[in-house]
Structures are given as C-alpha cells and as structure tokens.
C-alpha cells in the first residue's frame, strides 16, 4: 500500500526517510489558521486542536488520492495561548523574548486516513523549558538563523542551533521534530505497512 505524507514539512519527510519508510508527498492545501480559530471558538484544548489539524490534512488528501494518508501537525501552547508561526524576524524576536525563562508545550497530532475516513490518530506532547535568554543572545541567534527560522512555529529547530535555547525538555524527541515516530511505527506495523 502507498503511504502519502499530507505535508510539505521537510523535517517530517526526513524522519520518515530516516526510518526507512517509503512514501510520496502531497501537501494538504488548507487554511490552518481557520481550523485553529474554529477549535478555539469551540473551546477545544490545544491537544484537540493539534489532532483536528492532523486529521483535516489526512482527510483532505485522502478524499482525492487512493492509499494510506498520513497527516501531522503541531501546535505550540505558551501559557494559555496558541502560538502561530512568526512572519518576520521582528515577530520571532518578540516571541523568543516572551518564551524566555518559561515553559511551553508542543502538541503533535498524527492521523492516518484511507478512503476519506480517519483510521487511526494520536496526539503526543513535549514540555519545553526555555532558559533565560538575553536580548544580545536572541539578536545573535536570529542573525545566524536568518529567515529559515520562520518555518518553525517556535522559531527553533532542535536538530540545529535551536537546542541552545533550552535548559530541559520532557517528552519524545521525535514529537519535538514534528512526527511522533514511535506510536506511528507501532500502528504501521499493526497495519502490516512495515515489517513487524
């Protein structure tokens, strides 16, 4: 059976490739902010919104393509707010100042859909403790990272220099990278998509 990744995320694709899983990539073209806003208006928890986003991506692509479709998305919860991607380096600077010395949560939703129906879903969370960051450090970090950092909701990539922002992380490393591999692999083995 063909596995389709309903995401344009380079890190999700790299994780699947690294795990030896063959797939094709068909990014879901959805208004993610509208889905988040609807979830917030309905009083959904951040975890539920992450799951809703993943399911929406999987369903969107599954309705148009045969095969098993993997949808994934992350939301960043800082205090009571859901944080969206920064559009400019000034926005990134403001976010990093706000996160400095605080704990935030990454909630990663995953869903598998087939024939326009969700056949499996899960949500995993990681607790991220940001160390106190000086203004000079933030400025230097953003100078070195450049605009590419805007592709990450928290303005960091743990597999790169972003690791320096943290004093501790609780949770699965793959969840932080955007694809909770352990529950996904268990499900793919269960479905006989990958060898057991």
For 176, half-sphere exposure in the C-beta direction (CA atoms, 13 angstrom radius) is 21
Whole-angstrom distance, CA of residue 87 vs CA of residue 99: 17
Question: What are the respective helix, strand and coil percentages of the chain, to the nearest 5?
Answer: 45, 25, 30
Place of tokens 């073209």: 29
Helix residue ranges, H only, the chain = 10-18, 32-41, 46-62, 89-99, 135-145, 173-177, 181-190
Q: d(Cα 62, Cα 30) in Å, to the nearest integer?
A: 13
Task: Kindly give, in sequence order, each residue whose CB lies less than 8 Å from that of residue 193, ignoring residues fewer than 6 positions away.
Answer: 1, 3, 68
Kindly list the catalytic residues.
73
Helices (H), ranges, 6-158 = 10-18, 32-41, 46-62, 89-99, 135-145
Q: Find all residues with CB under 8 Å of 144, minimum gap 6, and list them.
A: 161
Q: What are phi and psi for residue 88, nearest 5 degrees?
A: -135, 165
């Amino acid at each position: 059976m063909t596995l389709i990744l309903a995401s344009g995320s380079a890190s999700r694709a790299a994780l699947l490739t690294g795990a030896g899983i063959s797939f094709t990539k068909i990014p879901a073209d959805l208004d993610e902010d509208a889905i988040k806003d609807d979830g917030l208006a309905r009083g959904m928890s951040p975890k539920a919104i992450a799951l809703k986003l993943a399911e929406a991506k999987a369903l969107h692509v599954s309705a148009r393509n045969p095969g098993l479709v993997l949808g994934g998305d992350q939301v960043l919860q800082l205090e009571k707010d859901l944080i969206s991607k920064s559009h400019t380096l000034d926005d990134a600077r403001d976010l990093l100042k706000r996160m400095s010395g605080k704990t935030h949560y990454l909630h990663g939703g995953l869903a598998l859909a087939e024939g326009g129906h969700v056949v499996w879903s899960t949500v995993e969370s990681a607790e991220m403790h940001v160390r106190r960051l000086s203004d000079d450090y933030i400025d230097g970090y953003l100078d070195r990272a450049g605009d590419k950092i805007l592709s990450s909701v928290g303005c960091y990539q743990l597999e790169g220099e972003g690791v320096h922002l943290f004093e501790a992380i609780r949770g699965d490393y793959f969840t932080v990278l955007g694809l909770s591999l352990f529950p996904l692999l268990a499900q793919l083995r269960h479905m006989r998509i990958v060898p057991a």
